[in-house]
Amino acid sequence: MDRRTTLALTAVAALALALAGAKLWLNPSTMSTARAVEQRGAFSEAERGAIEIFERVSPSVVQVAARSGSNPLSEEEGPSSSGTGFIWDHRGHVVTNDHVVQGAKTVALRFASGEVAEAEVIGVAPNYDLAVLRIRNARQPPPPFALGSSADLKVGQAAFAIGNPFGLDQSMTSGIISALKRRLPTSSGREIANVIQTDAAINPGNSGGPLLDSAGRLIGVTTAIISPSGSNAGIGFAVPVDIVNRVVPELIRTGRVPTPGIGIVAANEALATRLGIEGVIVVRTAPASPAERAGIRGVDFASGALGDVITELNDKPVRRLSDLTDEIEQIGTGKSVKLTVKRGSQSRNLDVEIVDIGR
C-alpha cells in the first residue's frame, strides 16, 4: 500500500469517526441525565417583604365586572367595565372606584379563589371617585386589610399595587411614592386633595385596587393614570386612605357622603391669575345659601365691578379654591367658619355656616 493510499484511508477513517461522534452527540438516547438543580440562596429582605405582602393580602383583592345592562350576554344593552376592588370589613363590603361601577345595573366579583359572587352598589361618592359594594350571596369574605395613614407618607418610600390590569387578575407591581399632595379632578367637577402619586405600574383594570406600604397596610385606592398611550407611563394616582376612611363608613351608613360648602360659585383660577389676585373670586352666591345670608357679594355683571375675594379662612391664607374647599371639607357640615373677605380696598371678617350643598 503506497503512501497516498494510506493517507486517503486515514482521512476516510477520521471523517467516519467525526460523523459517528456527531451522531452520538445529537442522539437523545445517548445524552446524559438532566443537570442537577443548584439550590438558590435565601431571598433578599426586599423579596421576602414583597412575597409576604402578596401572600397575605392578595386573597382580599377582587376583580370587579360591571355592566349597565341587565343581560350580561347582550352587547346591545350597554357597555361593560372592569376594575379592581378590595374587602373593607367582615360584613362583606367591598371598596372600588365610582367610575368602575358608574351606571351599573349588574356587578359581579371574582375572588382570588376563582369564586364568582354578585354584588350591589350601596353607596357612591363621585367627588372622591369612591364606591362601596356589598356581596349579595352569603359567604365568608376574606379578611380586610390593615389600614395605614396617608398623613405621614414620605416621597421615596416603597409602594405596592395589586389589581387586575387588562383583566390579568392578581397582578402585583411595586415602586415608590413619587409625589404627594397632588390634586385630581373628578367627573363631578370637584378636585380630590392630597392625592398620592406613584410610579408603581398602574394600568386600565387597576382602578379601585389597593395601594399598600411595605407593611402591607392600605395607604390609598388607585384611581387614575397619566399616559399618552393609555398604558402605564410611570405616573399613577391613588385616593389617600385618610379620605377613604372618612368617606366609606358614611357610604355604608347612608349611601352618600355630604358635600360641605357655603354656597358660592367661584371664578376660574386663570382669571384670578390674569387679574393678579391672590384668593377666591366670588362670581355669585346661591339663593338662600349661607354665603348670601352672610352678605357675600358676587360680580356685578351690569357694571363689570368685581365682587368679594375670599383671602382667609379661620386665619389661614386662601390662595386658590382648593385651599377653601379643603378646609371646609375637613371642618364638615353644621359648623361655622370665619372668612376674611376683601371688597375693593377694604377687608372684613364674616361668620359663615357650612351646609351640605349636595342635597
Residues with Cβ within 8 Å of residue 354, at least 6 apart in sequence = 260, 261, 262, 290, 328, 331, 332, 333, 334, 335, 336, 337
Q: Is 207 a catalytic residue?
A: yes
Alpha helices, DSSP H only, in 63-111? 98-101
Query: Which residue among the candidates 93, 207, 213, 326 is catalytic per the annotation?
Result: 207
Distance CA 117, CA 12 (A): 75
* In 212-346, alpha helices (H): 241-254, 269-275, 290-293, 321-331
Catalytic site includes residue 93: no
- What's the CA gap between 105 and 103, in Å, rounded? 7
In 103-209, where do the E strands start and end? 106-110, 116-125, 130-135, 158-163, 171-185, 191-198
- The catalytically annotated residue of 82, 98, 99, 174 is 99
Whether 152 is a known active-site residue: answer no
Torsion of CA 147, 149, 150, 153, to 10 degrees: -110
* φ, ψ of residue 8 in degrees (nearest 5): -65, -45
* Catalytic site residue from 98, 129, 169, 323: 129
Task: List, by residue number, the catalytic residues.
Answer: 99, 129, 207
